[in-house]
Structure 1
Amino acid sequence: MSSSDIFIGETIGTAILILLGGGVCAAVTLKASKARNAGWLAITFGWGFAVLTAVYTSAPLSGAHLNPAVTLALAIKSGDWSNVPVYWAGQLLGAAIGATLVWVAYYGQFHAHLTDKEIVGGPGAQATAAKAVEAQEKGAGPVLGIFSTGPEIRNVVQNLATEIIGTIVLVLAVLTQGLNDSGKGLGTLGALITALVVVSIGLSLGGPTGYAINPARDLGPRLVHALLPLPNKGGSDWRYAWIPVVGPLIGGAIAAGIYNVAFA
């Protein structure tokens, strides 16, 4: 596969992943959404189906890594690092595009949610300049969870360990289940298995941090949250942002090491 195919495939696939995954978070979170308060089961299955759709869509072009941790693990496994930057660039761009499309699809709901006094407080619909500055200096704003992850309890060691452990499970599933004929990504059966693994990770390990298990999935939408003209959106929690990037990369590398020792 060519570099252009890889970049296009990863951009499209990751955009679909974040559009559908972020979309279910928006559906469950925002006012005037028919799915509001549908709960954690809806989110975990929504993300699983998002993975399934994205993989089936992008696999013919790029092998459907859709995750820098997966790309890193496959590079360690094969020793071929030549296309890693292309994969990562497509994944980050696709994640940003997908998050932007979530905002477009739920534009009215974002506005209704972020101008509701019960949610953002204050006497009016718009925050004052002083309140906006204060909100940006705080951690997560009221809709950041639609775009990126955050911990329920802030403990750096635990949060990092949770992301590492979840990513090890994910990447081992990718490495051991149904790589396609090129050896570069998931085959048809592997896509289904991996989607179910993502659901399992969400149900079992998602409680502490929201299970990023994918640096692009967290960083790209977090950047979009920081840039979008959302009223009263609050901060993007950059103090935490390194954990869902570094943790999954460490987890991916460990999973590749386990694979090379135990399975290769």
Structure 2
Amino acid sequence: MSSSDIFIGEIIGTAVLILLGGGVVAAVVLKRSKAQNAGWLAITFGWGFAVMTAVYMTGSLSGAHLNPAVTVGIAIKDGDWSNAPVYFAGQILGAMIGAALVWIAYYGQFQAHLTDPEILAEQPAEEGMVDQKAAPKAGPVLGVFSTGPEVRNVWQNLATEIIGTVVLVLAVLTQGLNDSGKGLGVLGALITAFVVVGIGLSLGGPTGYAINPARDLGPRIVHALLPLPNKGGSDWSYAWIPVVGPLIGGALAAGIYNIAFA
């Protein structure tokens, strides 16, 4: 596959992943959405179906990594980093596009939610802030775009993201690769979708299971840039954890694969 195929495929695939994944979160949490309060099961299955759709759509173009942690795992497994920068660039750009599309699709709901006095009154200031008047708050819709911990503990949050990503990438490497070994195959796409659901159900509670640096960083940037009223801060003090944790997890999964399965 050419660099242009990889770049285009990762843009499209990651955009679809975030559109459907972020979209299900928006549907569940935003005011005046028909799916409001549908719950965690809806979110976890929505993300799983998002992965499946995006992989089937773009697997033939780029191998559908859609995740820098997967790219890192495959690069370490194969010892080939030549296309990694192209994958990373397509994934970040695609994630940003997908997040912007969620905003467009739910524009009215965002406006209703972020101007609702009851919603705004419920939002506490970010932990560790002394001057609450001067300090920005993590906005009431930040969770539509990116992840955040329920209990803010750096080592636990980092460990949770590492563990979840090891499960994901090891599943991809052991049973999900296509004949070329560069991405997910047809059966692998379905298996990986259910793995993502399983991770969400079992390990998603502490941090919201980013398990994908592009999935968290790209939409977080979009949250910071969008003209959303009363959106609060983008929680940049936490933003490194869902980037570094999954990258470590992807590398560890590749190491486990090379030791135990290769």
What secondary structure does 1:177 align onto?
helix
Give structure 2 stretches of 5+ with no counterpart: 123-130
Give structure 1 stretches of 5+ with no counterpart: 123-132
What secondary structure does 2:43 align onto?
helix
- Per-residue deviation, 1:140: 1.9
The reply on whether 1:52 has 2:64 as its aligned counterpart is no
Find the aligned partners of 2:162 and 2:184 in 1 and give their Cα distance: 21
- Per-residue deviation, 1:50: 0.2
Q: What letter is aligned with 1:207?
A: G
What secondary structure does 2:202 align onto?
helix
Residues 228-247 of structure 1 aligned to structure 2 (within 5 Å)? 228-247=226-245
What TM-score do the two structures reach when normalised by structure 1?
0.94
**What is residue 98 of structure 1 aligned with on the other side?**
98
- Per-residue deviation, 1:181: 1.5
- Per-residue deviation, 1:137: 3.3
Contact 1:12 1:94 in 2 (8 A): yes
**What is residue 262 of structure 1 aligned with on the other side?**
260
What secondary structure does 2:152 align onto?
coil
**What is residue 203 of structure 2 aligned with on the other side?**
205
The reply on whether 1:70 has 2:70 as its aligned counterpart is yes
Please, which of 167, 179, 182 is the counterpart of residue 180 of structure 2?
Answer: 182
Contact 2:176 2:192 in 1 (8 A): no
Contact 2:72 2:247 in 1 (8 A): yes
Find the aligned partners of 1:218 and 1:185 in 2 and give their Cα distance: 21
Residues 242-253 of structure 1 aligned to structure 2 (within 5 Å)? 242-253=240-251
The reply on whether 1:40 has 2:53 as its aligned counterpart is no
**What is residue 140 of structure 2 aligned with on the other side?**
142
Q: What letter is aligned with 2:86?
A: V
Q: What do the CA deviations read for 1:103-148 (whole angstroms, capped 9, x no partner)?
A: 00000000000000111149xxxxxxxxxx9688335210000000
The CA RMSD measured in Å over matched residues stands at 1.4
**Cα gap change, 1:165 to 1:192, in 2 (>3 Å):** same
The reply on whether 1:5 has 2:8 as its aligned counterpart is no
Q: What do the CA deviations read for 1:197-228 (whole angstroms, capped 9, x no partner)?
A: 00000000000000000000000000000000
**Cα gap change, 1:118 to 1:18, in 2 (>3 Å):** same
**What is residue 127 of structure 1 aligned with on the other side?**
none
Q: What do the CA deviations read for 1:219-242 (whole angstroms, capped 9, x no partner)?
A: 000000000000000110000000
Q: What do the CA deviations read for 1:76-109 (whole angstroms, capped 9, x no partner)?
A: 0001100000000000000000000000000000
What secondary structure does 2:218 align onto?
helix
- Per-residue deviation, 1:182: 1.3
Contact 1:153 1:208 in 2 (8 A): yes
Find the aligned partners of 1:135 and 1:203 in 2 and give their Cα distance: 37
Q: What letter is aligned with 2:213?
A: P
Contact 2:11 2:93 in 1 (8 A): yes
Q: What letter is aligned with 1:116?
A: D
Contact 1:66 1:91 in 2 (8 A): yes
